[in-house]
Every structure is written in structure tokens, then in C-alpha cells.
Amino acid sequence: MDGQGNLVIHVESGSLGYFSARMKTQGLFAVQHGRIEARVKLPFGQGIWPAFWMLGSDFDAVGWPQCGEIDIMENIGSEPSTNHGSVHGPGYSGNRDVTAAYTLPGGRRFSDEFHTFAIQWSEGSISFYVDGVCYKTVTTASIPGTAQWVFDSPFFLLLDVAVGGNFPGPPDASTQFPQDMLIDYVRVYQQQSEVAAPVISQSGLVDAASFNSMVAPGGMASVFGSELASATSEDLYDSALGAFVRSFSGTRVLVNGVPGALTYVSPAQINFQIPWETLTDTLLNVEVDHDGTLSNSFPTTMPSSAPSLFSVNGTAILTCVGGSPQPGVACTLWGTGFGPTIPPQSDGVPAMARVPAVTASPCLLSVGGQSAVVTYCGAAPGLLIYQMDFVYPTGAQATGSVVPARITINGNTGIATLPGSFWGSPLSSPPRA
């Protein structure tokens, strides 16, 4: 900050090269449609390249330019009076982008004082503004005939000052350092909808397996409330995408603005995957977007793992060779919230059967007070959930027909109840006939 209420991106030249900064809201905030604007005073000079721009929130999953890019303010310092507004997408990116320029009248320069750069963004249309003057509107008809319009999904915001590059060229002897870009504000405006606002209940975000309150990136979660959706569906896998959709009938679940992959949607409950890129150990907001109307924000903090097991009537789903759990028998559990895998997985994409994805941190399992040998802990082939294979330990203490269990991953523990053996407690070999 400069002491006057302005954010500063400061640019210097030193013996090791150029020093600058980029700020982004990726994983923290995203927006779909509305008016997005910033009041900025630009730096200047050959090779200086300030920008206020946006990228699709699916950038990590699909890459650029498939994710889409919207350049609200893009200036090259050798043209201190001209702003470029552009969109980039598949088939119209780089020097083939859809673009327009606005030049200040009277020889004024963007470095002389603050100016407001904005877009007015609606479905199928983006209008570009400088100081309230609309100088370009891009629609679905503006892009090449066979190209895809990729601008009706959430985008995150970026502010930066680059030095050099193909667009502005390198600095030269005329370039002055240091340089500053001053940002008075960044604002997002969205129109209120007449749709009844969705409401997340007070304890409405839980782990989808055990209904515990702790959830983790990549894990399956459930959100409960009212008016969450106008329709119900449990068939949300898109075979063309090879992934679960992030929007159904106008409904999305946003984790700090990033939509999660949906597996079940109804007016009172939504099951979804927490986006992998979600920050951990940081206060986050979970919201439901129903036809453009946002619910109340549900605050939460996520650890890197929050292991839990899928269950029926409180007892974990357990399958074992031979049908029943016995000492030395190979068994399998299914869970969620086990944390990152190697190789890493993508949002909403089921795990591949051919390439096992194991958890990045070791999985520890205790059954009835006894440590179990875990033979596999990672992605369940063809699913979004996790799989744990283990050898049922000798001496596990049962309580009636069930056995307590604990899963610990990266220091985080989940408690579960497993079905016990048919032959009493402690578990032992079956009696002779």
C-alpha cells in the first residue's frame, strides 16, 4: 500500500534482472457475469506491460486458451494513451485474439491520473469500457465460426505488471525505473435475481461419507439447505467430458468462487467434490448459486486430509475375501478426504483403472486397537472416492458385532465402525465344526 489507500505493484530493475508482481484470486474468488471494473493509474515506458485481466476457473483442468481469457485492461508502455480490450479462446488466441483498442483523447496518458477500466459481461456478450465509454462489444458472433465460446463460466481476476515479452518488446535506454501501478479499487457488480435465494442450513456442509463436519480438498461433501435447486438429478456424469458437471439446471456449489463437480443435486441436498485447488488451513466460504442468486456464505477451514469411510447405518462398508472379516484376510474399505494423490487427480474426473493413484501421505489404519497392514491406499478405479486395501489384524477387539477403527493420514484422524467377525470377540479363527 502507498499510504493513500492504493495498492501498489512495484517494478524495479536490478543486477539480477527485473522485479515485479502478479496478484490473482484463483482459488479465492471467481465471478460469472456482471460488471467488473478497476480504477488504476498505469506505469509507462518501453517494455512495461500492465494488465487487469481474467482467466477461466478451470485453467488448471483444461489449460489455456481452452479456459478462456478476458483482458479488461492491457497496455504497452510505449503506447501510454492506448488500452487494449481482448478475449482469447480456443482457435482465437495469441495474435489471433478478438480485440479492440481505446485511445485517450487530447494526447492524455494513462500514467497521468487514475482511469476506470471495466467490462459489462452477460451470457454470450462482453462489452469493454474505459471511463464509462464502451469501445467494443464481443458476442458469440464475433469469434471464428467453428470456434467455441468459453465465456459463460466462472473466471478469476488477475493484476500484474510484466516487463518485456513479445507484445511490448524489451525495455531500452529510455525506460525509467522504478515504476508503479496504483490500484484504487477492484469492484464486481451483479444483478439481483427474482429467484428465491438458496439457503445453506446452519450445519449444512458435511463430509459425504460419514457426515462429519471436516472436509478436505478432493473429497466428497454434502451441502444441505432449502431452495438449492429447482430439479433433482443423480446422473450428472458427462461422458463427452469424461467428468462430472459443475453446473446442473442453473445450480452450482462454489468454494471461494470455484465450482465443484456435482454428483447429486436436489432442492434440499447437493453432493459435490471439493475442488482440488482449494486452499487449506485458510478461512473459506462455501456458497450455492441457484440461477444467479447466491446463498448465504458457509464459512469453513479445511485441512489437507479429512479421512472418513462410507457406511450403512453407521457401519463402514467392508468387503473381505471369503465374505467375512477374519485375521489375515484381505479386506477393502471405501472412503473420502484422504488428500492429494500421486499422480494428481483432476476435479470431477474418475480415477483411471490402469494407473493407480496412491495418496501422497501414508495411510495408517487401526482396527480394534491393532495396527493393520495397508496394502493400497489411494484412488478407487473408475470412481471419485478412495479405496483402502488392508490385511485384517489378529487380536482386534470387537464390541458386540462391530469393531472400532481409526484412519490417520497426514496427522488427521477419522473414526469409524467396522462390521466384526461372525465368531465372537476378540476376533480369532472360526470354531471347528
Mean pLDDT of 311-319: 90
Chain segment 241-283, per-residue pLDDT in tens: 899 999 998 899 999 889 999 999 999 999 999 999 999 998 9
Q: How confident is the model at residue 415 (pLDDT cuts 50, 70, 90)?
A: very high
Question: What class has domain 308-419?
Answer: mainly beta
Average pLDDT, whole number, for the chain? 91
DSSP symbol at 96: G
Mean pLDDT of 408-421: 90
Does residue 423 register a pLDDT over 60?
no
Q: What separation, in Å, do the N-terminal and C-terminal C-alpha atoms of the chain show?
A: 81
Q: How confident is the model at residue 27 (pLDDT cuts 50, 70, 90)?
A: confident
Does residue 328 register a pLDDT over 70?
yes
As beta bridge partners, residue 363 has 409
Please report the pLDDT score of residue 192 as a whole number.
65
Provide the sign of the torsion angle of the four alpha carbons 395, 399, 403, 406, taken in this order.
negative
Distance CA 301, CA 283 (A): 5
Please report the pLDDT score of residue 197 as a whole number.
83
Distance CA 140, CA 84 (A): 19
- CA-nearest of 29, 105, 32, 41 to 73 is 41
Chain-centroid distance, C-alpha 20 = 26
Going from N- to C-terminal start, the domains of the chain cover 7-189, 199-301, 308-419
Which one of the listed residues 12, 37, 74, 79 is annotated catalytic?
74
Q: Which fold, 7-189?
A: Jelly Rolls (2.60.120)
Q: Which residue has the cell 469393531?
A: 403
Q: Is 74 a catalytic residue?
A: yes
Chain segment 92-103, per-residue pLDDT in tens: 999 999 999 999
Distance CA 210, CA 310 (A): 6
Q: How confident is the model at residue 356 (pLDDT cuts 50, 70, 90)?
A: confident
Which one of the listed residues 69, 79, 227, 287 is annotated catalytic?
69
Distance CA 169, CA 186 (A): 28
Please report the pLDDT score of residue 259 as a whole number.
94
3-class DSSP assignment, residue 106:
helix
Side chain identity, residue 173: A
Instruction: Say if strands 69-74 and 7-14 run parallel, antiparallel, or are unpaired.
Output: unpaired
Please report the pLDDT score of residue 433 as a whole number.
26
By percentage, how much of the chain surpasses pLDDT 70?
96
Please report the pLDDT score of residue 431 as a whole number.
29
Please report the pLDDT score of residue 194 as a whole number.
57
Mean pLDDT of 83-88: 97
Chain segment 370-411, per-residue pLDDT in tens: 999 999 999 999 999 999 999 999 888 777 778 999 999 999
Would you tell me how many other CB atoms lie within 10 Å of the CB of residue 390?
Answer: 23
Mean pLDDT of 334-363: 93
Chain segment 342-351, per-residue pLDDT in tens: 999 999 999 9
pTM of the predicted structure, to 2 decimals: 0.57
On whether the CB atoms of residues 359 and 377 are closer than 8 A, the answer is: yes
Please report the pLDDT score of residue 422 as a whole number.
42
Out of 112-121, 169-178, 196-205, 331-340, least confident range: 196-205
The H or E element spanning position 148 is: none
**At the fourth CATH level, which superfamily is domain 199-301?**
Immunoglobulins (2.60.40.10)
Please report the pLDDT score of residue 195 as a whole number.
60
Please report the pLDDT score of residue 313 as a whole number.
85
Cell of 167: 507484445
Please report the pLDDT score of residue 421 as a whole number.
58
Q: Residue 169: is it exposed, middle or buried by C-beta count within 10 angstroms (0-12/13-18/19+)? A: middle
> Which residues, including other chains, have CB under 8 Å from residue 81's CB and lie 6 or more apart?
103, 104, 107, 108, 109, 110
Distance CA 84, CA 106 (A): 18
Are domains 199-301 and 308-419 of this chain identical in fold?
Answer: yes
Q: Is 69 a catalytic residue?
A: yes
Please report the pLDDT score of residue 426 as a whole number.
36
Tell me the CB-side half-sphere exposure of residue 122, using CA atoms within 13 A: 3
Mean pLDDT of 138-151: 93
Q: Which residue has the cell 508502455?
A: 77
Q: What angle do CA 170, 176, 179 make, to 5 degrees?
A: 95
